Structure 1
Amino acid sequence: MPRTARGTRTKRHASAAGEPIGTGPRLGEVAYRRILEGLFDRRISAGSFISQNELVRLLDLPIQPLRDALRVLETEGILKIHPRSGIEFLKADLELARSTYQFRSIIERSAVRAYAETADANEIARLIDMHHALLEQLEIDSAEECLDAMEELEQQFHSSIIASLRNPMIETTARRLKNYVALIRLDVTATAPRMIRTIREHLDVLQACEARDQEAAEAALAHHFQAALQRILGMV
């Protein structure tokens, strides 16, 4: 049976979630990751209202690093802190999906033009090979078995394009958008046909970049984001 894009999986987050809490500046970073992991693994329900004490018990975190991480996540729009009341976590809706994919498209359409012009040919070839390898894997294995590889492929594809702008502010924004995408996909069923369509759309972009055709690369990426949003909305 197909499962949701992140569902109740904990494997991908096991290393950080099991990381011991020590001392020093890393405490807030560990707390930040554990909160997101709890949200994406559904230990914390999207849209839920929960107290700080409940989060301390659920995520095995000291209170001060938890508070520091909560303040950061509030600035990123993942949650809202209600003083003396609790923490309200964001629940994705259609408007968030539209806004997120529109913003991603604005950033990456500019980035893919730079990528098509300047990316190392060997890097483009490596990404193309990775996409073909996953297509072959999907002919043998189930969508569930390929899900981790698909997520890693998407991460490498989009981060490589964004990195071509060499702009730390944009990279920071892209990381925040990635958290929104993860929330949006919580209730999206991962199926082999959807994965295959995504991979082929990526290949259209990469092949245009390989040909150093900036116009075609931008057009292919714009189509990819439009199609991805339609998949999120259940239109295809």
Structure 2
Amino acid sequence: MDYEFKTIDHNNLGEVVYLNIAEALIKGALRPGARLKIRDLAQEMGTSVTPVRDAILRLVHEGGLLLKSPRDIRVPVLHRDRYLEIRAIRLKLEGLAAERAATTADAADIKRLEALVSDNERALSACEFARATEINQIFHFELANIAAMPILRGILHNLWLQMGPVISAAYEEGGRTMIEHHYDVLDAIRKHDAQAAKQAIREDIMSGGGVILSSKALSQEE
């Protein structure tokens, strides 16, 4: 496992450990099938095993991790049907976020989105796929932030616990397919065109979904 977990302080320890691992899942730093070891995580984050174990169990409950046995904790390989269900939900929720963001975005919001699109393009051009995957996730979440919809963002957090590793596994294969509709989203938000922004993010999800469905990132068996 190449991802380096952050060393944490001990204020609100359990929540910080949880967020540390959740972040790695959401931004695609952990791939489907990757194995996590509680003691290794505790050592890397500079804490005892108890908060790590608690965080793992919470993520198992949320669908972000799979507990095959007490010593075998894995990033799930998402089943195709489960992926399709999550995609259908994302189409609705992220479409709503983009629609609302187009009506509320100010100049500073648009500047942040422009920077993310440019950074993602540079990362892809440099074949820095881990970085590109992370920026992709930030772009999607930024729409919910601009829309000022914290409940929706919380739901996306749970969905992306499961989606982050899958997107990461397919991102290199997808290449620019994974970001080309971000330009359309950005253009719609610049124009404050809510319906165009909604349509563009839905097309982005469907386009990336085509790559994911044709890749080996999903399981065909329960």
* Distance in structure 1 (CA, Å) of the matches to 2:119 and 2:56: 39
The answer for the alignment partner of 1:30 in structure 2 is: 17
- Mapped pair 1:153 → 2:135: yes
Cα distance, 1:81 vs structure 2: 5.1
The answer for the alignment partner of 1:222 in structure 2 is: 202
* Distance in structure 1 (CA, Å) of the matches to 2:181 and 2:100: 19
Runs of 4+ in structure 1 over 3 Å off: 34-42, 79-82, 84-89, 132-138
Shift of the 124–32 alpha-carbon distance from structure 1 to 2, 3 Å rule, reads closer
Give the letter aligned to residue 126 of structure 2.
S
Cα distance, 1:36 vs structure 2: 7.0
Question: Unpaired runs of 5+ in structure 2?
Answer: 216-222
Shift of the 74–111 alpha-carbon distance from structure 1 to 2, 3 Å rule, reads same
Superposition pairs of residues 1-236 of structure 1, within 5 angstroms: 9-10=2-3, 14=4, 16=6, 19=7, 23-30=10-17, 33-34=20-21, 37=24, 40-41=29-30, 46=33, 55-57=38-40, 59-60=42-43, 62-79=48-65, 89=74, 90-132=76-118, 134-135=120-121, 138=124, 141-143=125-127, 145=128, 147-148=130-131, 150-188=132-170, 190-191=172-173, 194-234=174-214
TM norm structure 2: 0.75
8 Å CA contact 2:129–2:172 kept in 1: the answer is: no
The answer for the alignment partner of 2:218 in structure 1 is: none
Cα distance, 1:73 vs structure 2: 1.0
Q: Secondary structure at the match of 1:92?
A: coil
Give the letter aligned to residue 33 of structure 1.
N
Task: From the CA coordinates, give the structure whose radius of gyration is larger.
Answer: 1
Shift of the 98–127 alpha-carbon distance from structure 1 to 2, 3 Å rule, reads same
Shift of the 92–134 alpha-carbon distance from structure 1 to 2, 3 Å rule, reads closer
Superposed CA deviations along residues 36-55 of structure 1, whole A, max 9, x for unmatched, are 7499446xx7286x8xxx52
8 Å CA contact 1:29–1:69 kept in 2: the answer is: no
8 Å CA contact 1:92–1:184 kept in 2: the answer is: yes
* Distance in structure 2 (CA, Å) of the matches to 1:134 and 1:56: 34
Q: Percent identity?
A: 20
8 Å CA contact 2:99–2:197 kept in 1: the answer is: yes
8 Å CA contact 2:144–2:153 kept in 1: the answer is: yes
TM norm structure 1: 0.71
* Distance in structure 1 (CA, Å) of the matches to 2:54 and 2:200: 41
Question: Unpaired runs of 5+ in structure 1?
Answer: 1-7
* Distance in structure 1 (CA, Å) of the matches to 2:40 and 2:130: 30
Q: CA RMSD in A?
A: 3.3
Superposed CA deviations along residues 171-201 of structure 1, whole A, max 9, x for unmatched, are 222122222112223532514xx33233320
Tell me which moved more, 84-93 or 71-80.
84-93
Aligned length: 209
Give the letter aligned to residue 202 of structure 2.
A
Cα distance, 1:166 vs structure 2: 2.3
Shift of the 137–92 alpha-carbon distance from structure 1 to 2, 3 Å rule, reads closer
